[in-house]
Amino acid sequence: SVSASGMTANAYRVDKRAAERARWEEASKETIKKTTKPCPRCNVPIEKNGGCMHMKCPQPQCKLEWCWNCGCEWNRACMGDHWFDV
Ligand SMILES: [Zn+2]
Ligand SMILES: [Zn+2]
């Protein structure tokens, strides 16, 4: 009947929207995984800022300056070798 097919179409549309949202959430989770790393000292997730390897923890009680590449405190070798990742 007409009403039954109408309901089916509506249900399908809702499913499709939910599936799209789930896919989008998955994709943004993947992006976060790729662009954030935990601070080596306090483990707060920190987002990478462009191509610079020099990271600074935003936590007021930490403020560690650290290397995205090495995952440790920022040092002279980091400054010379990979300050910028091209
Ligand atoms: Zn920190
Ligand atoms: Zn380094």
On whether the CB atoms of residues 48 and 75 are closer than 8 A, the answer is no
Known catalytic residue at 52: yes
- Helix boundaries (H) for the chain: 2-35, 76-82
pLDDT in tens, 18-37: 999 999 998 888 877 778 99
- pLDDT score, position 42: 97
- Cα of 86 vs centre of ligand 1, distance in Å, is 25
- Cα of 67 vs centre of ligand 2, distance in Å, is 5
pLDDT in tens, 56-67: 999 999 999 999
- Cα of 56 vs centre of ligand 1, distance in Å, is 8
On whether the CB atoms of residues 45 and 38 are closer than 8 A, the answer is yes
pLDDT in tens, 36-86: 999 999 999 999 877 789 999 999 999 999 999 999 999 999 999 888 765
The catalytic position among 39, 42, 52, 72 is: 52
C-alpha–C-alpha distance, residues 73 and 49, integer Å: 17
Backbone angles phi, psi at 7, to 5 degrees: -65, -40
